[in-house]
Chain A
């Protein structure tokens, strides 16, 4: 009756990867019924904010419009993932939803990443929609870079640990929803996502340094050459900092997320 799969590190990694793909597939199947509603929810905030800002400043330069568009898209990728994981974990905790998952031979990383990946995949469609609408109605487009894909993945994964811990420590689903939305609003309005860092008060400039979205937005702007006064040599640094945030996120999950209890 010994366990079937071995403890060889390579084998364990392959098995975790297989579990992750299987879980993501089942998560996507699980999301069928609410796919349209999810798309609407993931689109409405970034799209509404984008339109509000563009209507507010019709005389903005193209560079400023690109600046706002990038901030908006970074917000969508980072925050939708964090909101989805936080609220999903909160719901599962309150409704004993982890009881069943805990019986499966899967790792918590694979499960949480499958929640996140579902949210990130669901964000790609609104993301593309927002870029198309921005080009169509506001005459603003973004240059493509092959580094955008790893950047978006790092952006989304950098916040998953925060989402998981909010979901785990919130007393119920409602508290998890409030806490994740509160955090999302803080990131949207009190960090240099839509506003240049220099325009923020000094305390917010300091606090923005502990938010991965700050580095993600800067990296995307550097890649798209819309960073106002940016230093291209900072691009590598932004990627390194994002990788560190991802490691911190995974470490938080490893040591603090005791989901089988």
Chain B
């Protein structure tokens, strides 16, 4: 399967309602959005505004209650869990706030792991590709260290290298700088900018307005609605 390097993300009237006993929480309310290939988009908003729910719709980690989500020509809203996981493996790299590295695997092993399950990179090339990605994020010298031996910023760089392991066209990061100091967070955004220059589409959720301004476009969300789509 050829992996597309350019994807357009389209959300049509997406609503997400969470049930909690008798109560209903509307996390997203008829949200429509288009993100073009190669865009660097920051999603900002207060805690509980629906930022994470919005990107979970795009990665398929969560399903919309109503509406459609398209990434390229794939209708994400129609896929089952298994198909979604396979689709995600080829098309989306996810970076988490708390890194989620496996603690007793070395940095290079953490980066190699997604390649094993995707199977696109031939087995003999996986170590070399992992080392090349660690070089790209400036951590080749730390390849054989455990996450506990790395700083928070270095761990997040490993997590970014891992997200790039299968060369997905789309990178989604949920508060990737939430646990980093401002200097390290700025470095992280510089890395995202470099990836956008290489043609990746990047969506980043952040609380930090200064960092958000470095993106091409800032989407502001409040109470489950997009109040400014940055166009």
A interface residues with partner B (beta carbon < 8 Å): 1-5, 7, 19, 22, 26, 29-34, 95-97, 99-100, 102-107, 260
Q: Give the docked Cα–Cα distance between A221 and B61 (Å).
A: 48
Indicate if B198 sits at the interface (CB-CB under 8 A). no
**8 additional contacts (CB under 8 A) given A3-B86, A4-B1, A4-B90:** A3-B79, A4-B119, A26-B116, A29-B105, A32-B104, A96-B96, A100-B96, A100-B100
Size category, B interface: 35 or more
Q: Give the docked Cα–Cα distance between A24 and B88 (Å).
A: 22
Indicate if B131 sits at the interface (CB-CB under 8 A). no
Provide the residues of chain A in CB contact with B113, threshold 8 Å. 26, 104
Provide the residues of chain A in CB contact with B81, threshold 8 Å. 260
Provide the residues of chain A in CB contact with B89, threshold 8 Å. 103-105
Determine chain A's interface SS by DSSP, over half rule: loop
Q: How far is the CB of A255 from chain B (nearest CB, A)?
A: 13
Indicate if B179 sits at the interface (CB-CB under 8 A). no
Q: Mark B159-202, 1 if CB is under 8 A from A, else 0.
A: 00000000000000000000000000000000000000000000
Q: How far is the CB of A14 from chain B (nearest CB, A)?
A: 12
Indicate if B67 sits at the interface (CB-CB under 8 A). no
| CB-based contact A5/B86 at 8 Å | yes
| CB-based contact B85/A104 at 8 Å | yes
Q: How far is the CB of A22 from chain B (nearest CB, A)?
A: 5
Provide the residues of chain A in CB contact with B85, threshold 8 Å. 102-106
Q: How far is the CB of A46 from chain B (nearest CB, A)?
A: 25
B interface residues with partner A (beta carbon < 8 Å): 1, 4, 7, 59, 61, 71-74, 79, 81-83, 85-92, 94, 96, 98, 100-105, 109, 113-114, 116-120, 146
Q: How far is the CB of A233 from chain B (nearest CB, A)?
A: 43
Interchain residue pairs A-B with the least CB separation, the first 9: A3-B86, A100-B100, A105-B89, A105-B85, A105-B86, A33-B104, A1-B74, A1-B72, A4-B1
Q: How far is the CB of A134 from chain B (nearest CB, A)?
A: 33
* Contact pick for B90, options A1, A95, A102, CB 8 Å: A1
* Contact pick for B105, options A5, A30, A96, A104, CB 8 Å: A30
Closest to B99 in A: A100
Closest to A31 in B: B104
| CB-based contact B96/A1 at 8 Å | no
| CB-based contact A102/B61 at 8 Å | yes
Given contacts A30-B102, A34-B104, contact A2 B61 (CB under 8 A): no
Given contacts A4-B1, A105-B86, contact A260 B91 (CB under 8 A): no
Given contacts A22-B117, A96-B96, contact A3 B104 (CB under 8 A): no
Q: How far is the CB of B75 from chain A (nearest CB, A)?
A: 10
Provide the residues of chain B in CB contact with A19, threshold 8 Å. 117
Provide the residues of chain B in CB contact with A260, threshold 8 Å. 61, 81
